[in-house]
Amino acid sequence: MASGQTLVTFSPLHNTPPDWFFVAFTSGSTEPTADGDGTAVIWGDASDANAVLEYLFLTGGTWGGGDAAGYMLLSNDANVAWTSGENFTADTSTPGNHGTLTATPVACFATMDIRNGVNVLDFDATVNELAMFSGFMPRNYSGSSGITVTVGAMSSTATTGDMSWALFLMSITDNVDDMDVKNFADPQVNQAVDAAATLGAVRYFTITHTDGAQMDSIAAGEFFRVLLMRDAQDGANDDMAGDAEFVGLEIKET
């Protein structure tokens, strides 16, 4: 495949809204690892529920010590039992105070909306929200040059301010990856996407992934997943008021 050629595109209708939750925490110990390590167990009066730790974001302190704080992205349909003050541990059936939830879980899927007849996905201004797409990497991907993802988005109400976006990739390798616990690779970001000065105008911006670890080593012909997140809690970079409205995404070979 020649550099610059489109590999695959996704529209809002391709989104599978993840039934996942963000929950803030403070750390009491060294587990789970910062980039997710499969399962976390939430311990509390009413729930000893398993959740898959999809990703962990640090907003303060240092992971591995007792001063870390941030929020975890967890997938589990028993979240109604989780409350602020419960503890979590990892990969064990034995309770241990490896950290404490400091808030109740917040649902985080981008919501479907229609703007002037066009399907869009609304990403909130204060809660990080996600959209998930999946497909097969086209056979004509060279497997060496990486990909450049172009995202189109409008603002619902703002004509000033910036958006911060992150894009995660996950490869599903033949007879290797367990989709129940497989995590996304570290995200690549575009943290300073200006809102369009005209309401209803679409901004196009790019997020680049080099071949290899940044793409979770997705190979040609392999099933893969894409997770797009507006990092609304990025207080330094995301200051656009109101929703961002996603209109589509293109993956091209870099």
Partner 1 sequence: MAVLDDTARTQIWRGLMRYLSGLRESIALNKVELRAAIDATDTWINDNQASFNTALPAAAQSNLTTVQKTLLFCVVAARRVSPAFTRRLLGEIN
* Residue 211 touches partner 1, criterion: CB under 8 A: no
Task: Between 225 and 230, name the residue whose CB sits nearer to partner 1.
Answer: 230
Helix/strand/coil for 215: helix
Of 159, 173, 217, 254, the one binding partner 1 by CB under 8 A: 159
Helix/strand/coil for 21: strand
Helix/strand/coil for 214: helix
Q: How far is the CB of 158 from partner 1 (least distance, A)?
A: 6
CA dihedral of residues 157, 112, 231, 124 (deg, nearest 10) = 50
178 vs 200: CA distance, rounded Å: 41
Query: Which segment (92-100, 101-109, 166-174, 234-242) binds partner 1 by CB under 8 A?
Result: 234-242
- In sequence order, which residues have a C-beta less than 8 Å from that of residue 196 and are 6 or more positions away? 154, 155, 159, 202, 203
Of 3, 59, 62, 126, the one binding partner 1 by CB under 8 A: 126
Look at strands 48-60 and 69-75 and give their pairing: antiparallel
Please count the residues of this chain forming the interface with partner 1, following the rule CB under 8 A: 20
Q: Which two tokens stand for residue 127?
A: 């809660």
112 vs 110: CA distance, rounded Å: 7
* Residue 59 touches partner 1, criterion: CB under 8 A: no
Q: By rule CB under 8 A, what string of x and - marks binding of each residue 79-118 to partner 1?
A: ------------------------------------x---
* Residue 210 touches partner 1, criterion: CB under 8 A: no
Q: How far is the CB of 240 from partner 1 (least distance, A)?
A: 6
CB atoms within 10 A of CB 20: 22
CA dihedral of residues 231, 234, 240, 245 (deg, nearest 10) = 0
* Residue 161 touches partner 1, criterion: CB under 8 A: yes
Confirm if 69 and 25 have CB atoms less than 8 A apart: yes
Query: Which segment (71-79, 152-160, 175-183, 202-210) binds partner 1 by CB under 8 A?
Result: 152-160
* Residue 157 touches partner 1, criterion: CB under 8 A: yes
Contacts of partner 1 in 174-203 (CB under 8 A): 199-200
Query: Which segment (31-39, 85-93, 121-129, 202-210) binds partner 1 by CB under 8 A?
Result: 121-129
User: Which residues of this chain interact with partner 1, rule CB under 8 A?
Assistant: 115, 122, 124-126, 156-162, 199-200, 238-243
